[in-house]
Chain A
Amino acid sequence: MSQVPMVRRRFVAAGAAALLAAGPGLTSPARVQGLAPTKSMRGGANNYLPGAPVVDRIGGGGFTMSGTVRRAGDGTPLKGIRIQIWAHTVEGRESEVRSHGATLTNADGIFQLDMPQIVPIFGQPHGHLAYDSGGFRTVFLRPVMASARDTSLSAHFVLEPA
């Protein structure tokens, strides 16, 4: 008669115990190393015009671009950070000055800017956001809308000192 080297029940129990012991370490390395900085996305800087003014809203509005800005490492929300936003919208193309605007984050590190409806261009409905003010390392984002009919889009920044 052959002997089973390990009973199945004990094998499952041992596996579960090992997962429980190692689990938190496997799933949240960020807690150990700190919040990683956001990397620029491919094509994020396309049609960027530096120095867009802070505005209440781009054009006539109707579409909401929002997001958060935090500091790398401890994740502290950053206040008063200038985020530049541009996109191909119903009112203008990406390369046009009137399609560009900037806004500042509030005390909770949240920014929100009203802008014209984004329409697909170059095969995807997408927006562009930039942090390019000097204090932290420059980041360009290019979020894509899940649907061209969406009326909002968000993008989040984790910045590291320059």
Chain B
Amino acid sequence: MTLAVVCRAILGWAAIIAVIATALFVAAGSSYLQYRTPVYVAAGFAGVVALCLLLVQPLLATGMLPGLPLRAGRRVHRWTGVALVLAVAMHVAGLGIASPPDMLDALTFTAPTLFSVFGVVAMWALVAAALLAGVRKRRSLRPQAWRLAHCTAAAVVVVGSVAHAMLIEGTMGSVSKTLLCALVIGSSALTAARLRPWAGAWRAWPGQARK
């Protein structure tokens, strides 16, 4: 390992940790927290943590995080995926306890707020991506088709979550939130460019193969 590679690894991790730590630190200092119940505070933070996980999740899948090459990255990717599902479950359950009618409106797409729609769509896309991850080893889908399906669901999660977060007036600081969201979009776009999940998904389709 050359010095340049080590320096790049340190800088890369430092940047990611700085962005996530700043987002969490600013949210923890919000004046709104004092007017909320512990359950609501925990639910809100679960949402912030989920957004932070979305930053590293695509990078882990492509082995782009310094020190975590593809194979190791994918192993961590599975666990951060589980953490992401748990964080979103805590977010939804906690907000449901804090204000049942508001959560019911959101889940039934009858809320007055547009961000609820984005959030709930992202949640179901996350469920789809997680279920796909669960059945991957069964090989019920060809690898290329599985990858396209998982990446499509992940893209909906990313776009939905970023729109959800940006439209919300909550504990997150507007600058740190915008920076985090921009980087989440960036890391996902970088991953899509690297993985090219659309490549081969149609080419190897049984009907196409005969041609």
Contacts and interface: CB of A to CB of B under 8 A. Distances in A.
A134 interface: no
B99 A123 contact: no
Contacts of B95: 122
Nearest to B112: A42
A43 B169 contact: no
Interface in B189-209: none
Interface of B: 32, 35-37, 95, 99, 101-102, 105, 110-113, 115-116, 167-170
A44 B110 CA distance: 11
A123 B166 CA distance: 10
A142 B112 contact: yes
B35 A123 contact: no
B113 A46 contact: no
Contact of A46 (B101, B167, B170): B101
Contacts of B110: 42-43
A43 B111 CA distance: 6
A122 B92 CA distance: 12
Contacts of B168: 123
A43 B99 CA distance: 12
A47 B99 contact: yes
A160 B99 CA distance: 31
A120 B115 CA distance: 14
A41 B115 CA distance: 17
Q: Considering residues A89, A94, A120, which has the most beta carbons from chain B within 10 angstroms of its beta carbon?
A: A120
A125 interface: yes
A119 B35 contact: yes
Interface in A91-109: 93-95
B32 A122 contact: no
A125 B169 CA distance: 8
Given A42-B105, A43-B102, A123 B170 contact: yes
Contacts of A30: none
A90 interface: yes
A42 B114 CA distance: 12
A120 B169 contact: yes
19 contacts: A41-B112, A42-B105, A42-B112, A43-B101, A43-B102, A43-B105, A44-B112, A46-B101, A46-B105, A47-B102, A88-B35, A93-B35, A93-B37, A119-B35, A120-B170, A121-B99, A122-B102, A124-B169, A125-B169
Contacts of B115: 123
Contacts of A88: 35
A16 interface: no
A120 B99 CA distance: 13
Interface in A107-156: 119-125, 142, 148
Contacts of A120: 32, 169-170
B35 A90 contact: yes
Contact of B113 (A45, A122, A148): A122
